[in-house]
Amino acid sequence: MSFDSILYRWEHTADWTARELGVAVHAETVRIHPFTDGNGRTTRMLADLVFLAAQSGEAPEQYDWEIDKPQYIVLLREFDLNRDAKPLAAFIPVRPLGA
């Protein structure tokens, strides 16, 4: 899956929520590991920005990145295999923006 595929899917289908879109962008960026250092911080920030931009409600949310890292890595690897963002999105909790 590429970023073009993610964008196309977001614009032309209705099978992902904003939460799943942000997670898919995060997981794809983690997979390509674009930087020597700072990949985690950068990909988490990117996920938050995409999630926020894709939301349409009055009470915006953000991801809560205080998660069980070993399980997170397992779910990232599953995403690499099947490109299904739902399990990873369900695992990463959300909270109100700014909370």
pLDDT tens profile 21-61: 999 999 989 888 878 888 889 999 999 999 999 998 789 99
Q: What's the one-letter identity of residue 95?
A: R
Cα end-to-end span (Å), the chain = 32
Beta-strand relationship, 94-96 and 61-63: antiparallel
Q: Which of 30, 36, 97, 99 shows the shortest CA–CA distance to 69?
A: 30
**What pLDDT is stored for residue 4 in this prediction?**
80
Under a CB-based contact definition with an 8 Å cutoff, are residues 26 and 49 in contact?
A: no
In angstroms, the CA 68 to CA 11 distance is: 32
CA-CA-CA-CA torsion sign (70, 71, 76, 82) = positive
In the chain, what percentage of residues exceed pLDDT 70? 99
Class of domain 3-96: mainly alpha
Question: What are the boundaries of each domain within the chain?
Answer: 3-96
pLDDT at 1: 54
